[in-house]
A and B are shown apart, each in its own frame.
Chain A
């Protein structure tokens, strides 16, 4: 019935990241399989976002190796991550507030546009044809995320929950193989969270996109992810199926404190 979880697509081995004397990540290893929903959880300051930034090529770990589809990844810039099929959303939404929803999602297609700037500016020949194709893709995403009614609305005027959805839409516009979601549910009410969960699962299911998400809300994570990594103070303290992780004494200790 469900999608097939494939081979390891991204393998992180013994990653350590320091900012000066501050150890953000210490000797962390885990892997991500194709088509799975992989969650990274942990208390505040556990190093979740740093981990995501390492995957995305924003931070470069001092130690450790990253294998992407079996090939060791050299030092890489974020735009290179994008062109290899890794897209992300941000914890503090990073959209162009003054631009419409449509245009914002369209920016996600930039990497896929082939025609040169002059042709694009004059909207000539191949550029026109290309733009129509991209627009179609964007409209499909708008349809998918059920945001038709705000297609032309400037993003700045939208409520937070919808902005998050647009942010996801822009990441989807890249047709990524791996989608990194940084706290997609933060600051949402119950209904918005449910919607977001449904969209994440739909993306995973329909497009087969591998999803790595960071989340605070344990309940949500346990419901939708296939495997969970738990970080605390930059160290990995748990890794496995949601139920295993939930039962692990170390995880309980990190979340609830000693004595439980």
Chain B
């Protein structure tokens, strides 16, 4: 039984519904959630939220929702969707958030696997998806929707407006006033609180069952390291189905009592970020990357004077910004320059990025480029990394303040034990481990060993300070035909640190050299091309331009030069590459919904290209089917050029 959690400080309130009602009692008027409606931020206090959760829970109960039922949640981050999570938990049910941008067919598996009887969805679009597959979901009985727009002509009896559900609940609550309290009392901290489906880089998605205790332990541990309190704001814009959002938005907000802010729509996140000015921020590296890219693009368009000022102070920040943030000693001159820079550049820049009030920002999910990482730290944003997976509530390692290194993911978090297996795989143990995979005892047994350690599947090692360093997925680490280690992710990340490279896929296992597929970043390369008067029609056209290929080639050569200095990976220099004719896309199954490359799938789909790379051809024709957002299909074809890249003699071996 995972009972190491210290519940003393929580007065025995150890399920999420109890935490919620406790907040409603202790801080009834403090803001719990905000959402922008008709251009104005609307606030729900903790007592508002508690009242609505109560109504929703009673409403669900009157529709027949029972202990142990699963509730599918599909949509963007909306207060009512978060409230429904709590409502299901009140009744001892399990919320199952799904990725909202998935097409109906992709949702089908999860909905069937979880045997979902009830679903809450955001809007008409999601209702349509469910109706499309409803005949394959005999268990699905009721669908509740949040946004009534466009729903006027839907008169199916199993569709309910969320407000209608709340009204039903309020009536139910009046008639059975003890019902809900009793249901909440029945909840136990070892009950499953949420089921999150793994994105499925391998095989079918698996439902990860996490208990209240696990998520509360993870949320508490994180809050302890970062000294989070009830004052603060988080912008909740990452998919609700993702473990990170569940930990940071849902679990930590309920543990600490800070405010969840839901953006108006997917496109307004940047504006909303500026308006809210969150104190606590989480984003995957690609978001930080695209923010920096947009800053760089705008700086390139700025006047000469501004550019010089920017470059000067960025050099100052690079020199001493990180040290100042870590509280290390810095010379008086630098301190003054940094102060001036803060006034003229860093402050306004933080403001533009919406990061003026940030106390802690986290990134995880993929490796972050050292330069990118230190850029944010140098301008005074306390950006840190963490490491974890769905199975561990995204809570294994955290970087404590003052001990932040760009190439490690930090020290084991409070209550977490880490062990490195003989094959280099990272094993973890603690209160935050999953209870089981839903209906998959085989998978559960496979992933937790006899000593109770969870097998992360990541290869890594602990450095001299006890910080964990992750190299790659354990199964992705391969060998070149000469026996040298080949860690594709490591090289791809190095490539992706260039703003022009959006995605890279490297091949080399059991081969005599490393070759790569590149996806260019349309924004950055497009701007670069415009500056040089290169006209282009779209991605495919731009990707085929000789100048673009040359430019990418220089980037790769720089990477090769860097790799040549590191004996471990010097043999993995990229020898040949091509720029793909289409962007890798989760809709075409090439990326997971969390935008990780599905290497094997890509290798199979583009086999002709790989063969051409290794056969030494200089070009290859390819035609690929693509799926559009609305489900229609089309074809993209191109004649791709393959370029050779200069490689460098291996420094260490030569010496």
Contacts and interface: CB of A to CB of B under 8 A. Distances in A.
Interface stretch (A61-69, A134-142, A219-227, A244-252): A134-142
Contacts of B265: 146, 148-149
B267 A148 contact: yes
A206 B149 CA distance: 9
B268 A202 contact: no
B203 interface: no
Contact of A149 (B40, B152, B271): B271
Counting chain B CB atoms within 10 Å of each CB, the highest count among A135, A149, A194 belongs to: A149
A205 B150 CA distance: 9
Contact of B150 (A1, A139, A202): A202
A143 interface: yes
B515 to A, nearest CB: 34
Contacts of B36: 148
Nearest to B271: A149
Interface residues of A, number: 19
Contacts of A191: 628
A149 B267 contact: yes
Nearest to B268: A149
Nearest to A147: B267
Contacts of A149: 264-265, 267-268, 271
In terms of DSSP, what is the predominant structure of the interface of chain B?
A: loop
A56 to B, nearest CB: 30
B150 A148 contact: no
B268 A1 contact: no
Interface string B597-621: 0000000000000000000000000
Contacts of A116: none
26 contacts: A2-B153, A135-B39, A136-B38, A139-B38, A139-B39, A140-B38, A142-B38, A142-B39, A143-B38, A146-B265, A148-B36, A148-B264, A148-B268, A149-B264, A149-B267, A149-B268, A149-B271, A151-B39, A152-B271, A191-B628, A194-B630, A202-B150, A205-B152, A205-B153, A206-B150, A206-B152
Which of A148, A152, A194, A202 has the most chain B CB atoms inside 10 A of its CB?
A148
A215 B149 CA distance: 27
A1 B39 contact: no
Nearest to A143: B38
Nearest to A194: B630
A41 to B, nearest CB: 25
Nearest to B147: A143
Main secondary structure of the interface of A (DSSP, over half): helix
Interface in B140-173: 149-150, 152-153
A222 B152 CA distance: 24
Interface in B263-322: 264-265, 267-268, 271
Interface string A98-137: 0000000000000000000000000000000000000110
Q: Give the one of B38, B152, B265, B267 with max A CB within 10 A.
A: B38
B605 to A, nearest CB: 25
A194 B153 CA distance: 20
Interface in B443-494: none
A136 B40 CA distance: 10
A139 B40 CA distance: 9
Contacts of B268: 148-149
Interface in A192-236: 194, 202, 205-206
Contacts of A205: 152-153
A1 B155 CA distance: 9
A117 to B, nearest CB: 25
A1 B154 CA distance: 9
Contacts of A194: 630
Interface in B46-101: none
A221 B630 CA distance: 20
Contacts of B628: 191
A226 to B, nearest CB: 16
Nearest to A2: B153
A148 B153 contact: no
Interface in B1-59: 36, 38-40
